Structure 1
Amino acid sequence: MNARVIDPFKGDFPEVIEEFLEKGTARCIAFNRRGTLLAAGCTDGACVIWDFETRGVAKELHDDDCTASITSVCWSKDGYRILTSSVNKYLTLWDVCQGRKLTRVMLHQTALYARLHPGSANPSLGLACPMSSAPILVDFNSGSQHVLPFSTGTEPVHGSRSKFPDGSVVFSSATATFNKKGDLIYVGNSKGEILIIDTQTRRIQALFQVPGGALIRQIVFSKNGMYLLTNSGDRTIRVFENCLLQNKAAQALENLINGSGDSAMTGIMKWAGSQCLTLSKEFQDAVDCLPWKVACFSGDSEWIVGAPAIKGEHKIFIWSRQGKLVKILEGPKDSLTDLSWHPVRPLMVSVSLSGGALFIWAKDYTENWSVFAPDFKELEENEEYVEREDELDMKPDTERVTTAHVDEDEEVDIMTRKNYLDYSDSDDSNEGLHYLPTIPLPDSPKQQDQS
């Protein structure tokens, strides 16, 4: 779409379903850093990678030894690796270009989702969030697993005393994520607390109490790392401003703690947490007070998106970051399982529950042709045109508009490569995997017979 004929006063967010993709039964999705590839985890254990420009299947990652449903997918920073978690308790690290399995780690419990370390191009660390136990930091090089602290106390949350066969304590469901550079881990527990943990030492550095004190189901950072979103059990989405520096956040937090004069350890952590996060806005469904299945930021962090957990309803709420509800999208009569916003463009992809199809939501563009001339008039219907008497008279050349001078002898530099920061959250935006060769899908037997 030509940017010169688009109405600039309309919000830059998706409005209608543009297309749908169907290959297997998808359950979870994730864009790569540039938004050129879309990975979808399916119920048969396959990870289908779509070329988002051509809307064709570029690669399919599948292991015959693992046919369990995929629960989450995550790209590495450079796009050459993908981490998948499945219901059979496995974390699998894939080489995207070669389509082969690099390593596999078995957890003691199914991970609801897993994340790769975002600070390095070839990460060796991963973060897994099991269904009902503390988050686990996994080293794929050594295969070691480290259980992260889930609470400031030693007792299990809500007084649970059951244990897994390996002796680890059962907790309520937890959520965790890396910050932008991966030097800190943010863990949310059932008491509405966010624990900020140093990735290297795995020690709690700060504690922040989310208003309401309800179970934290989801923690998401914006692409630029300046905002943090929580999806809580009290049916409220909250957005916080991240007050820590983007670079060397762990060191900045350490300096903040050392500069505190509080002698009590818990007091220091709470004070440090209050210096790390500041509540910006709260978002709710004011009519039905619906619980939220998934929430996320837009690529530019200007919009907040929430998909309610409604049986047989495919709804998506869009708010501005200032708290105004701007749009409610309604899709097919089917529940929604996952949602992802394109890193650069005003596009979203949602996953339906029953069929596993991927619905692409795009902006409904309205062309504005009046920008080509100040006296241009758009007509709602046909009108009879009355020609002026002097309209076709010859006019002298002095009244004609002169064209801009173009230096045809000027050399054009086609060798110097520029960095386009709109496509990335870092300066090395041109590095990494952008595209894969698209694999054409074979025709169905019915189409072959007709041909």
Structure 2
Amino acid sequence: SWVCHGYSVTSLSWSRDGRKLLTASNDWSVAIWDVLEGSRIERQIYGSPVLCAMFNPRNDKRILVIYLGANPVLLDLEAKLQTEVNFFIKFPEEIDDQSGDVTVGTFDRRGKYIVTGSSKGRIAFYNAQTLELITFVKQNATHQIKNILLTRRGDFLLTNSQDRIIRTYKLDVLLKKHHGTIVEPLQKLLDIINKVSICVSNDGDYICGASTKAHSLYIWERNSGSLIKMLHGTKGETLHDVQWHPTRPIILSIANGLVSVWTQAHVENWSAFAPEFTELEENVKYIEKESEFDLEDEDADEPTPQTSKEEDDEIVDVVTLKPNAVYCSSDEDDDGSMYVTDLTAKQGPLWFLPIAPEIENPEENPASLFTETEEMTSTLDGEPYPGSRKRPATCTASSVMSMRNLTKQRRVK
């Protein structure tokens, strides 16, 4: 841990390889940190509090920064250049009371597009390389967009607006719309509670919203739009953010500086794996079935020579590593950078943090060494340690001094 900013941190973003951490703060600055060294790589200061900052998912040299009361900025670390993402350069006729400021922005999961949302319900799409405006659409309500989220699978785009409605769209459909088209969502999740933040499961089938007034989480099914679960935390806490685990059914909620972990209550059901399984409340004498534990089944058919030859000719591949589809998102279909074999390399993905456990009292010896030292001390002083036999004093003065020095050295360690 280290001190990043003088004021509260408003946003965190990891680089794709996990070796860099991007922080944004209310002190009007954005900083990039080396995770292993804990040192600052870069720092930029802006003219107002920074609302959000994030790495490009495929290029950690390009950063999107959104700060209060101004257009977003794309920072290129290699060229040392900041480019403003300005919507009104291409559409100056849209400047009116209904245009609104940009309140939220994000990259798509492959880093090809930049998606921004305004305080008047406008969603704009830009080319992440050239910053050219591709298209923009409008929601059917002119309310502020508080969150924009893209799913890891399925290319769904979700918005959380000030009118208490979570809207679901298909990304490729929005990209084909004409400029200024008013679009209808695929699904509306309407609730009387304002949501401070939203998150989505790894497969995009479930949506979670965090309440603004209490520590309560609401989970909807995306296809049907029905509310399937309500989770309530400690009373009196105010939620700040909620995140879904990338691969597991685990939700993290942040309230009053504390992180709560929400997961399933697992119940063992062995009959799901073995239909003939039955639970026993007491010991039962088992009656062995005929030929159940025989080494060779006498009733089995004799294998034919052709079948035996085919089984012998089958080649089993134990070398090739294949990615598990369960733990991979669809943004990794065209990217092989995450498949590495050397986990200790200084390049590529960071798989773990090499840290040592903290010891509260480092001057104290371990229990075993402490016991051994006490036994040796009590033996030398002529007072046998409880549970040990008193040895005859046959050692010389030099050996006694050397053993005392050894005891002192162990105590110092």
Question: Would you call these one fold, judging by a TM-score over 0.5?
Answer: yes
Q: Tell me, in whole angstroms, the C-alpha distance in 1 between the residues paired with 2:289 and 2:82.
A: 84
Number of the residue aligned with 2:187: 281
| Structure of greater Rg | 2
Deviates more, 1:423-432 or 1:320-329: 423-432
My pick for the range that moved more, 293-302 or 427-436, is 427-436
Instruction: Verify: 1:338 aligned to 2:241, yes or no.
Output: yes
Q: Distance in 2 between matches of 1:238 and 1:444?
A: 54
Match of 2:210 among 307, 313, 316: 307
Distance 1:378 1:119, change over 3 A: same
| Aligned position for 1:440 | 357
Matched with 2:44 is 105
1:109-136 per-residue CA deviation (whole Å, 9 max, x = no partner) reads 111111111123xx21111121232222
- 1:203–1:78 distance in 2 versus 1, CA, 3 Å: same
* 2:133 alignment counterpart: 204
Matches within 5 A, 1:7-156: 60-63=1-4, 66-120=5-59, 123-150=60-87, 152-153=91-92
How far did residue 226 of structure 1 move?
Answer: 0.8
Alpha-carbon shift at residue 98 of structure 1 (Å):
2.4
Structure 1 partner of 2:403: none
User: Which runs of structure 2 are paired with 1:296-445 in the superposition (5 Å)?
Assistant: 296-310=199-213, 313-322=214-223, 323-333=225-235, 334-353=237-256, 356-378=257-279, 382=281, 392=287, 395-396=290-291, 415-421=319-325, 422-424=327-329, 425-426=331-332, 427-428=335-336, 429-431=338-340, 432-443=349-360
Deviation at 1:156, TM superposition (A): 5.5
Whether the aligned pair in 1 keeps the contact of 2:62 and 2:77 (CA below 8 Å) is yes
8 Å CA contact 1:81, 1:96 repeated in 2: yes
1:270 aligns with 2:180: yes
User: Larger RCO: Structure 1 or Structure 2 (Cα < 8 Å, ≥ 6 residues apart)?
Assistant: 1
| Contact 2:154/2:204 (8 A) holds in 1 | no
CA distance in 2, matches of 1:207, 1:172: 14
1:207 Cα deviation (Å)?
Answer: 1.4
| TM-score, with length taken from structure 2 | 0.71
> Structure 1 residues 131 and 415 mapped into 2: Cα distance closer, same or farther (>3 Å)?
same
Cα RMSD after superposing both structures: 3.5
Quick one: distance in 1 between partners of 2:51 and 2:118? 15
Q: Distance in 1 between matches of 2:107 and 2:200?
A: 16
Q: Deviations over 1:342-394 (max 9, x none)?
A: 101111111112xx111111111111022354333347xx5897x7xxx6377
CA contact (8 A) 1:133 1:174 kept: no
- Give the Cα separation in 1 of the matches to 2:316 and 2:352: 26
Q: Are residues 149 and 435 of structure 1, via their aligned partners in 2, closer, same or farther at CA, if it must alter by over 3 Å?
A: same
Identity in percent? 30
Structure 1 residue 331: Cα displacement:
1.1
1:175 aligns with 2:175: no
User: Which residue identity lines up with residue 279 of structure 1 in the other structure?
Assistant: P
The alpha-carbon distance between structure 1 residues 397 and 110, as it changes in their structure 2 partners (threshold 3 A), is closer
SS in 1 for 2:185: strand
Structure 1, unmatched stretches of 5+, are 1-59, 161-170, 246-252, 258-267
Number of equivalent positions? 337
Secondary structure in 2 aligned to 1:174?
strand
Q: Which runs of 5+ in 2 are unaligned?
A: 301-307, 341-348, 371-413
Instruction: Give the AA of the match of 2:324.
Output: Y
Contact 2:87 2:133 in 1 (8 A): no
Shift of 1:140: 2.3
**Aligned equivalent of 1:240:** 169
What amino acid sits opposite 2:164 in the alignment?
A: R
In 1, the alpha carbon distance for the partners of 2:268 and 2:320 equals 35
Provide the rounded CA distance (Å) in 1 between the counterparts of 2:352 and 2:95.
46
Partner of 1:370, secondary structure, is: helix
Write the distance in 2 (CA, Å) between the matches of 1:91 and 1:297: 27
- Secondary structure at 1:67's aligned position in 2? coil
